[in-house]
Chains A and B, each alone.
Chain A
Amino acid sequence: MIRRHIIRSTAEAGSGHPGGSLSCADIMALLYFHVLQMRPQDPGWQERDRFLLAKGHAAPALYAALAERGFFPAEELLNLRRLGAILQGHPDMTRTPGVEASTGSLGQGLSVAVGMALAGKLDSADYGVYALLGDGEIQEGQVWEAAMAAAHYRLDNLVAFVDYNRLQIDGPVDKVMSPSPVPEKWKAFGWRVFEADGHNIPGMNTVVRSAQEAEKPAVIIAHTVKGKGVSYMEDQVQWHGKAPDGQLVAQALQELESVQEVTDDE
């Protein structure tokens, strides 16, 4: 459902980032339907778990999850990126219910999540703070400033995901500017590191429970496929920041429909 919303909303908007939204669709489904404790009718509920989309360009995936959880009507998704819409091209906390912090400029989100986790600690609150980063995003130096700070302040209430889809706008991440070895880097910065299939929701759910138990900040490196679920988008870098149109929309929705049926049968 999240995937079909992504296709419909970006197609309707005529722009957006379907590739990196589809790659993290299962992570969003995991978080919004299995992990995050929240009250859509009361977005400001003090005890809610906090989620922050550091890779803000995957906003269509976040909006789809928020709509499906009832933060706003699903019809709003078709106003994505329109003048006056509550759904901006990148997440805007001043406009969209359920968006905890404005993001979109890569590299900043994890620092904000660290601040949110510090606030939780100060209040002795039970909520967890979750953040989703892109694999290209971790090229930003500030991510590592934040990683250092999270370990320094022993933020065991912080869980980060890296959507490891191996592609960024200019090409393969390893070719543009390799962040490898990724797990070793997080380990060296003092984090508990987990790896998971980013399209296996039950598998990731088990990993998240372990990450929550960690005595320090935890990162889940979720191995994903960019454009997952739409055959002509999978592993194709040109679908990073381009919306489908015409026949391609119908094809994508049809493919996702059949996947949905298979999933439903399970």
Chain B
Amino acid sequence: MSEGAETKWPNRLATRDAYGDALLQLGAERPDVVVLDADLSGSTRTGRFAEKYPERFFNAGIAEQNMINMAAGLAVGGKIPFASTFAIFATGRAWEQIRNTVASGRLPVRIVASHAGLTVGADGSSHQALEDIALMRVIAGMTVVVPKDAPETERVIREVVDWPGPVYVRLGRAKVPVISPKGAEFSVGKGEVLRDGDDVAIVACGVMVAESLLAADRLAAEGIAARVINMATVKPLDDDMLRQAASECGAVVTAEEHNVIGGLGSAVCESIAETQPVPVRRIGVDDVFGQSGDPADLLHAYGLTADAIFEAARDLVKKG
């Protein structure tokens, strides 16, 4: 994380840990919830549910395609399946299973994938999904959620249990700042204004929300009032909130831990190009693969920082 994050948000938790806890709670409340994994239950934290409710946990082994379709079959049989593995395998390896069996059948399979993005760290490019938002967003009827921190993840998991149709939730491996105040709400499809301002809007998801708030602090020091929007639901997108932000701020910066092609930045551009066209700058991975390294170093190396957001926003405001 960028400088200042630790002072601002001393608590750090991984979203996957929050997922593991949320599943445990759901397990107690909802007998129809079942969980599947593909030999990564320790990493995705579904192992906690497996330990407590072994009869409702199904390990597919290293067979992601079979896992997704078993989840589909369990959904056909009236269960609410949560299927987890790393994001690259869930959305890449099993894409066509998700598209043709899960989504086309409008089945309530919840694909909750961890280890998305560069913050996977040392495992390197093969395990860093930078395309998963795009791959899921393009499927008809798929809901795509990218929580910013652990408390939001817990609320997302509870919110999506009864959400109609398939859902993709993107989680990370690394511990990230806890930004959400206690008791903050989450609704699928609703953006969250974390800071108000009308010079420029910063629209972010996942780990980049914290970076956006840091960038907003620096912009404020230069007299620029930035509106920071946490767009945890990438699909369905909160078009109304975006149109209003574009209209009132006149410029938009997007920030995501994903390829700038096909992810949140693309979604925002598609939305406001049709409703309220304004200049946009997209911060994200610039159409390259990742590599091994420390998560924080990787974010810096690939320009996913508060600095990059700050500069993009300042440039846009100056031009305006």
Contact = CB atoms under 8 A, between A and B. Distances in A.
B is a partner of A: yes
Interface of A: 50, 92-94, 100-105, 107-108, 111-120, 122-123, 142, 145-146, 148-149, 153
Interface stretch (B14-22, B64-72, B179-187, B304-312): B64-72
A114 B100 contact: no
A148 B63 CA distance: 10
A119 B60 contact: no
Interface stretch (B75-83, B130-138, B148-156, B277-285): B75-83
Given A101-B105, A148-B63, A119 B69 contact: no
B76 A111 contact: no
B100 A105 contact: yes
A148 B61 CA distance: 10
A112 B76 contact: yes
Contact of B105 (A94, A119, A146, A153): A94
Given A104-B100, A116-B74, A119-B74, A111 B69 contact: yes
B58 to A, nearest CB: 6
19 contacts: A50-B76, A92-B104, A94-B106, A101-B73, A107-B65, A111-B70, A111-B97, A112-B73, A115-B70, A115-B74, A115-B75, A118-B74, A119-B73, A120-B77, A122-B55, A122-B77, A145-B65, A146-B66, A149-B63
Contact of B69 (A108, A122, A123): A108
A133 B105 CA distance: 19
Contacts of A117: 73
B65 A118 contact: no
Interface residues of B, number: 29
Contacts of B60: 145, 149
B158 interface: no
A74 B34 CA distance: 39
B220 to A, nearest CB: 50
Given A112-B76, A118-B70, A122-B34, 11 more contacts: A101-B101, A105-B101, A107-B65, A111-B65, A115-B74, A115-B81, A117-B73, A123-B78, A149-B60, A149-B61, A149-B63
Contacts of A153: 58
Given A145-B63, A145-B65, A108 B74 contact: no
A116 B61 contact: no
B300 interface: no
Nearest to B36: A115
Nearest to B55: A122
Pick the 6 closest A-B CB pairs, nearest first.
A115-B73, A119-B77, A111-B69, A145-B66, A115-B70, A145-B63
A128 to B, nearest CB: 13
B195 interface: no
A102 B107 CA distance: 10
B315 interface: no
A95 to B, nearest CB: 10
Contact of B78 (A102, A113, A119): A119
Contacts of A118: 58, 70, 73-74, 77
B58 A112 contact: no
Contacts of A104: 100
B65 A102 contact: no
Contacts of B97: 105, 108, 111, 142
Nearest to A125: B77
A113 B56 CA distance: 17
Contacts of B51: none
B11 to A, nearest CB: 38
